[in-house]
Amino acid sequence: MSKGPLAIEFAGIPFSNPFMLSSAPPTLDAKRVIRAAKLGWGGAVLKTVTEEPTVDPRTRLGVLREQGKLIGMNNIELLSRHPLKVWIDSWIPEIKAKAPEDFVVVASIMSSPEPEGWTTLAETMSQTGVNALELNVSCPHGSPEKHMGAFIGQNPDLVEQVTKAAKKGTDLPIFVKLTPNVTDIVPIAKAAKRGGANALSAINTVESLIGIDIETATPYPFAYDAELANPQSTYGGFCGPAVRPLGLRFVSQIAKALPNIPISGMGGIENWRNAVEYLMVGASTLQVCTAVMWYGFRIIRDITKHLTEFMKEKGYKTVEEIVGKALPKITTWTALPKLPPVVAWIDPKKCELGKECIVACADAGYQAIRMEGNRIIVDPEKCDGCGLCAVVCGANAVEFVKKE
């Protein structure tokens, strides 16, 4: 077992690094999982299986772009389209045989609220040689219509019941994957823990409608019929960079409420910085789907390289030392310091005279910025320290200083 700089133990399982592929198209068969394992991923959560394979609509993906750059994706894909037997007899043994020995394999399972289904699936999948099971009680589309997925994950009693049922069928660690489509994730996380969860995974996708083709008044993504006529759509699961603020919020809320349960964080992780953010709010393994779908398995090389460099530079000896680092700085609004005397200061060396700050401060700030000759000046008497100029500045030229 290699014990490199990024090694971490999660729910009793040693990982060579904290990065896993999440349960999604990048893990839909053995071949691709083996390829990812050889490129350096620490583990993979296999595409969710249930008793019957899925038949999916086509097409089933829609994206959100901002100035050409992909920022979010919506999917109406369901579960594995391959029969359980293929996973059990061929694919999982093949992954275990061909992936590096320390590559962690997690089977994702889903069933109805009836406990028997969970017990049987857990028992069956744990005989395949996987290292852990993840319970998918969080898929927001399709599944809830069948009283599965988020239908279970939105109800603490059902979450506790199915977690207990799965535990009955296995001695392997169980991760429960939670849905962000709830008002408060903490009672659900607590229910999973009461049911015996060894770890929590968060977040699954956010229920959404990604957009409308205004020429044809048709929502994306288009699910075509056989004649490619009259495409229809439905509410799907939103993921990618645009959901990262939600993922960070949910992971931090779970970590603060349940400090002793390991969390596998996901939702919009694209690069090493996003990984550090998730670690700092309490995740100790990290899962990635969308960034791999857009940029390929190879992103793992950059992510691990730069995370290692960051740790060296900051003096972190283990990944564990980063976990939860930002949590003490997340407090309630009421406890925040108010009315500190800070004002904006624009660094003339960085300012590119884009003037975004002048427009923003004039119409939504406190009319504190003006041009003087070819310099932008802040009037400290008028400035309220709201921070609007800093967020709109394209040159990152605004700093905050104590008001004299």
Ligand X SMILES: Cc1cc2nc3c(=O)[nH]c(=O)nc-3n(C[C@H](O)[C@H](O)[C@H](O)COP(=O)(O)O)c2cc1C
**Closer residue to ligand X, CB minimum distance, 201 or 365:** 201
The first and second tokens of residue 344, run together, are 């904006």
Residue 386 contact partner, candidates ligand SF4, ligand X, none, CB within 5 to 8 A by sort of partner: ligand SF4
**Closer residue to ligand X, CB minimum distance, 75 or 155:** 75
Side chain identity at residue 84, one-letter code: L
Chain centroid to CA 368: 39
What distance in Å separates the CA atoms of residue 115 and residue 75, rounded to the nearest whole number?
A: 28
Residue 239 contact partner, candidates ligand X, ligand SF4, none, CB within 5 to 8 A by sort of partner: ligand X
State the residue for tokens 């003037």. Answer: 355
Closest separation between CB of residue 358 and ligand SF4, Å?
Answer: 9
CB-neighbour burial class of residue 92 (10 A; exposed 0-12, middle 13-18, buried 19+): buried
Residue 130 contact partner, candidates ligand X, ligand SF4, none, CB within 5 to 8 A by sort of partner: none
Beta bridge partners of 133: 107, 174
Closest separation between CB of residue 112 and ligand SF4, Å?
Answer: 53
Query: What ranges in 1-110 are assigned the alpha helix state H?
Result: 30-39, 84-86, 92-98
Closest separation between CB of residue 316 and ligand X, Å?
Answer: 24
**Closer residue to ligand SF4, CB minimum distance, 110 or 357:** 357
Residue 262 contact partner, candidates ligand SF4, ligand X, none, CB within 5 to 8 A by sort of partner: none
**Annotation marks residue 139 as catalytic:** yes
Side chain identity at residue 403, one-letter code: K
Side chain identity at residue 1, one-letter code: M
Given the rule CB under 6 A, which residues bind ligand SF4? 344, 360-361, 365-366, 368-369, 378, 383-389
Given the rule CB under 6 A, which residues bind ligand X? 22-25, 47-48, 73, 75, 77, 79, 108, 136, 139, 177, 204-205, 237, 239-240, 243, 266-269, 288-291
What distance in Å separates the CA atoms of residue 41 and residue 20, rounded to the nearest whole number?
A: 6
3-state secondary structure of 9: strand
Closest separation between CB of residue 366 and ligand SF4, Å?
Answer: 4
**Residues annotated as catalytic (active site), given as ranges:** 139
